Structure 1
Amino acid sequence: MNYVVESYENYREEDRLTTNNARKIEFITTIRILNEILGENLKILDCAAGTGIYSFYLADRGYNVTATDITPRHIEIINNELKSKSYKMDTAVLDATDMSIFPDNSFDVVLNMGPFYHLTDENQREKCFSESLRVLKKGGLIFTAYIPRYFIFQYVALSDKKYIDSNLAEQLITTGILKHTDEKCFWTDTYYSTDKEMEKLYLDNNVKIIDHFAQDGLTPLFADKIDSWKDDEFKIWCDYHYSICREKSILGASNHVIIIGEKI
C-alpha cells in the first residue's frame, strides 16, 4: 500500500469531484442516493474518506461522522477544514484492512468508497470487507465502491493511445490487476472488479443487497462535451443518468460503481 499512498500524496484528490461537471456527476448521483437511503441520527464511518467530500456533506446534515484514510495528507486537509466547522469529527490515518481501533458494532453505516479497488491481493480485499462488517451494527448499511473491469481499458486507451496494447487489455480483463511495476501502469496498484463478483462477495458474507448503481456511467469518455454544456443541459444529463444508473447493462460500463448492502 506504500505505492498507493505515495500516489495519492502527489495527487490533488480534493479536486477530483469538484473541478468540472464531468467529474461532479459521480458526487451528484451518489449524494442523491445517500439522501434517499439514509435515515436520521446515524453514526457513520467513512473509512477511505479521501479529503472528506462525503464526510463533510454528511456531517453538514447532522450525521455523526468519523473520517479515516490511509493517506496522511488527506487527513491533514480534513483536519484543517474542520477548524472552520462548528461540529467535531473524529479523524485518523488508518488502513482499512485493520480497523482494530474501533470496537465491533460501532457504526450504523460504513462507507467503503476507495480502499477495495486498491487491494490487488484477494486476502487483503476480504480483510478490508470483513473489517467493514465487523465495525458495522446488525441492520447497518455498507457502501462499497469499485471500478468495473470491462470499462477501464477503453477509458485509458481513449485517453492516451500509448495504452492501446493487447497485452494490457488481456491483463485487465483476465486478472483485473494493475501493479505499479507494470510496464504500462497508468495509475497505481489497483484491482478492477465485476458486478457479479461484488454481488457474490455481499451474499457470501450474509449481506442483503439493497442497491447497486453506476456513479458516473459513460461520462468520463466524453468529458469535454459534457463540460461544454449549459447548466440546464447538464441537469438533464444528470437526471437521465440517475434514471438509468441501476440498469444492469450500465453497471459494467461505468467508471465507478457502488453496491449497498444491509448486514443481516
Structure 2
Amino acid sequence: MNKIEQWYDEKYDEWDRLERHKVEFDITKRYLDEYITGENLEIFDIGGGPGRYAMYLAEKGHKVSLLDLSKRNIEVAKEKSVEKGIILEDYIHGNALELDEYEQKYEVILLMGPLYHLIDEKDRRACIEGALKLLKPNGIIVASFISNYAPIQNYLKNLYPIDSIDELLVFLDDGISDGYKGFTQAYFTSPKEAKELMNRFGLKEIIFAGVENILNYKEKEINRLEEKEYKKWLDICYKLSKDNNVIGTSEHLLYIGRI
C-alpha cells in the first residue's frame, strides 16, 4: 500500500487525469445519473481519489463521504471543495481494506479505484465484502476495473515505441503489474473475470459496461471536438457501452449491482 500511496502523493495528479480522459468521466457520470436515483442519499466513495465523482454527486444534493489512501488526494479534495462551494460529509485518509469502523448506513457505495490496485484476489474479495457490509438493504454498489487490454490500447493510442511484445502482452495472462511503465502497482482484469468476481457476492447485476469502447483510440481527437459533435459521439459510446462485442475495446470496465 505504501507504493500506491506514494504514487498518488508524489507522482500523479489524479484530479487532472479526468480532464484528459473526458469520455471516461462523462460516460461514468451518465451511468451514475441513470442508476443513482432518489434524493439526499448517503453515499460512500471508497478510494475516490481527489473526489471528482464525490463532488459531482454532492452537487446533486447527496450526502457524500470520501475515503482515499492518498493524503494528497484528500488535501486536493478539500481544496477543490472550497473552490466549488461544496462540502462533503467527510474527508477520510484511509484504506479500502480497513472498513470495519464505518456504519451500515449507505444507499450507494462507489468502489471505483481500489480494485485495480489490489494484486491479490483475496484482497479484492475482502475489499468488496467490506464495502457491501456498509450498504443498506437494496443498496447499490458501483465498481470500476481496468481492462487487461488497457496497456496494449494505451500503446496503440499513443503509438509508443514497443521495447518488448511479450512484456506488453503479459497482462493478458495474469494481469499483474508491479509498477507498469507510467503507472504504479496494478491489477488488470478481463471483462469475464470482473463480472464473475462481482456476481459471486450474490448481487443483482444492473449493468456491466465498457466505458470508452470505440472512442478509446481517438480520445485526443474526440477531446478537441466542439461540444455539439462531442455529445453525438458520447451518445454513440453510451449506446455501445453494454454491447458485448465491443466491451473489450475499453480501458475501463464499470459494474453496477444491487444487494
1:246 maps to 242
Do the aligned partners of residues 230 and 259 (structure 1) sit closer, same or farther apart at CA in structure 2, a change above 3 Å counting?
Answer: same
Distance 1:160 1:94 in 2: 37
Written as runs of structure 1 = structure 2, the 5 A alignment for 1:196-235 is: 196-235=192-231
Compute the TM-score of the two structures, normalised by the length of structure 1: 0.90
Percent identical among aligned pairs is 29
Compute the TM-score of the two structures, normalised by the length of structure 2: 0.92
2:18 maps to 17
Contact 1:82–1:89 (CA<8 Å) still a contact in 2? no
1:43 maps to 42
2:131 maps to 132
2:168 maps to 169
Written as runs of structure 1 = structure 2, the 5 A alignment for 1:24-173 is: 24-40=22-38, 41-83=40-82, 85=85, 87-103=87-103, 105-159=104-158, 161-173=160-172
Structure 1 residue 36: deviation in Å? 1.2
Deviations 1:48-107 (A, max 9, x none): 11111111110011101011100000111112233353644211011111112203x221
Contact 2:55–2:86 (CA<8 Å) still a contact in 1? no
2:177 maps to 178
Distance 1:129 1:219 in 2: 30
Distance 1:106 1:163 in 2: 48
Distance 2:113 2:86 in 1: 27
Q: Secondary structure at the match of 2:12?
A: coil
Q: Which amino acid aligns with 2:127?
A: C
Contact 1:157–1:163 (CA<8 Å) still a contact in 2? no
Structure 1 residue 13: deviation in Å? 1.0
Structure 1 residue runs of 4 or more that deviate by more than 4 Å after TM superposition: none
Deviations 1:138-195 (A, max 9, x none): 2111111001113432323553544452321342111011112xxx634111101112
Distance 2:131 2:252 in 1: 20
Q: Which amino acid aligns with 1:240?
A: I
Do the aligned partners of residues 219 and 36 (structure 1) sit closer, same or farther apart at CA in structure 2, a change above 3 Å counting?
Answer: same
Q: Which runs of 5+ in 1 are unaligned?
A: none
Q: Which runs of 5+ in 2 are unaligned?
A: none
Deviates more, 1:223-232 or 1:247-256: 223-232
Structure 1 residue 243: deviation in Å? 1.1
Distance 2:157 2:76 in 1: 32
Do the aligned partners of residues 168 and 76 (structure 1) sit closer, same or farther apart at CA in structure 2, a change above 3 Å counting?
Answer: same
Structure 1 residue 228: deviation in Å? 3.4
Contact 1:148–1:256 (CA<8 Å) still a contact in 2? yes
Q: Secondary structure at the match of 1:78?
A: helix
Deviates more, 1:83-92 or 1:5-14: 83-92
Deviations 1:190-231 (A, max 9, x none): 101112112211221111111111222243422232233222
Q: Which amino acid aligns with 2:222?
A: I
Distance 2:160 2:32 in 1: 37
Do the aligned partners of residues 175 and 231 (structure 1) sit closer, same or farther apart at CA in structure 2, a change above 3 Å counting?
Answer: same
Distance 2:169 2:80 in 1: 43
Distance 1:225 1:83 in 2: 32
Distance 1:165 1:7 in 2: 25
Please provide the CA RMSD for this pair: 1.8
Q: Which amino acid aligns with 2:67?
A: T
